[in-house]
Amino acid sequence: MAVPAQQRLRTQSDFQQVRSRGTRIHCGLFIAQYLKHEQENASHPAPRLGVIASRRVGNAVKRNYGKRLIRNLFRKHQALIPAGYDLVIVLRSNFASVPFADLESRFQELCQSISTTA
């Protein structure tokens, strides 16, 4: 099951906007940046996700694996993120060295911190 296109950051300008104006949180295994987006025409905009995995993370197999993990966590816990927020996750190279449960708990903490600032 994929993340729908309405819930993905697709353009470079969307990524740049969140990265330049958003709030940054260091989560150890990844860096998260979030920003409330303005969509007047949507009655209940869903949160959107963008994942960045540079070559420093590893080869293509490791980068794609990391992006799949983050998208899976987003699908599982998107109800914790308030509507109307854009979220960019930048993977760090040590994400694969920890168990999935640790990655999941850090993502849940991120979602809770976003909802408390909303």
User: Does 43 or 47 have the greater pLDDT score?
Assistant: 47
* CA-closest candidate to residue 65, choices 21, 103, 8, 27: 103
Q: What is the pLDDT of residues 59-111, one digit of tens each?
A: 999 999 999 999 999 999 999 998 889 999 999 988 889 999 999 999 999 99
H/E stretch holding 48 reads: strand 48-52
Residue 1, Cβ density class (10 Å: 0-12 exposed, 13-18 middle, ≥19 buried): exposed
Check whether 35 has a pLDDT greater than 90: yes
Domains of the chain, first to last: 5-117 (3.30.230.10)
44-64: pLDDT as tens digits: 588 999 999 999 999 999 999
